[in-house]
Amino acid sequence: MKYLITGGSGFIGSHLVRLLLKDNKNFVHNLDKLTYASNKNLFDTKNHKRYSFKKLDINDYNRVYKELALFKPDIVFNLAAETHVDRSIINSRDFILANILGTFTLLQATQKYLNNIYKKNKERKFKFIHISTDEVYGSLSKNKKHFTENSNYLPNSPYSASKASADHIIRAWFKTYDFPVITTHCSNNYGPNQNYEKFIPMIITNALNHKPITIYGTGTQLRDWIHVEDHVRALKIISQKGKIGETYNIGSNNLKKNIDLARIICKYLNSISKNKKINYLDYIIFVKDRLGHDFKYAINTSKINKKIKWKSQINFKEGLYKTVDWYIKNQNKGLR
């Protein structure tokens, strides 16, 4: 199977690349702009015979089409996106360009590829898998039921609005042009090699560097956390068993308050630290809440559990502690 991945050098994308390459029948071609958040050193794939890479912006229609035509993928995973909510509040333009116009350009190039090249291989089944976020659904109140695939779109940040816009474009291409797309919405990811600006890496790296661990508002916001390896395993299964035109929510039902998550990490660091004079809990401080801060995200995974036969496997605390251990081991090795 031949997979083309946009954003394959990002946090989720790089884990997906590694997973797909474990199967010796798979070939992976990675298109990535290599922004600040990219993993520029996929050392374990650099000299891999079934892996290739091209640095480009998915807004470059001609170059994207050329890569599609040369590689001739069976599956396209679209993970190229700007993702950090705080940055979207400060500079929303980058999110509009990458998440909306980038998706549109990629669709155009892929549609041309299907019309000109792929249709000649009628026995093959092409799929375009668009990776979105649970944030497009907006915010849940404390006791409200979890998001389903039929939940209304109510994005509250420039980031989630840009992803919601891309989702609507994707849906229109399926309805209007019979474009073979599947959309996924995932909850908050964590795991090794995530950019330090994200919540869990921020807690870990700030603690290790004896810096304040900043918590927005009172820290009572609720998030559903999924290990990135569970997420990419779901994406692989969806590429095999997912139905074209469908949407699948991906989550682990690991709801945690932000403040509780910070305390879990700090207590673990306390337990393994040789310097018992340091209490990492003391680094936690509360700051003014973020603009438009959503209170709760929670995913109902009934559809993917039943239709695709997928469920998360990684125990949250075990996965979290291993993630902390990874950052401790790699903190002096040029982390992004």
Catalytic residue set: 134-135, 159
Q: Which amino acid, one-letter code, is at 84?
A: H
Q: Is 185 helix (H, G, I), strand (E, B) or coil?
A: strand
Alpha-carbon distance of 130 to 185, in angstroms, equals: 9
The answer to whether 26 touches 242, Cβ cutoff 8 Å, is no
Alpha-carbon distance of 188 to 134, in angstroms, equals: 8
User: In three state form, how does the secondary structure of 130-148 look?
Assistant: EEEEHHHHCCCCCCCCCEC
Name the token pair of 26.
């798979």
Alpha-carbon distance of 143 to 296, in angstroms, equals: 10
Q: Between β-strands 181-186 and 213-216, what pairing exists: parallel, antiparallel or unpaired?
A: unpaired
Sheet holding 255-257, edge to edge: 188-190, 222-227, 255-257
- What are the CA-CA distances from residue 328 to residues 104, 248, 260 (Å)? 40, 34, 21
For 296, phi then psi, to 5°, come to -145, 135
DSSP state of 283: G
Name the token pair of 214.
């900043």
Q: Which of 230, 213, 314, 222 is nearest to 269 (CA)?
A: 213
Write down how long the chain is.
336
Q: For the chain, how are helix, strand and coil distributed in percent, rounded to 5?
A: 45, 20, 40
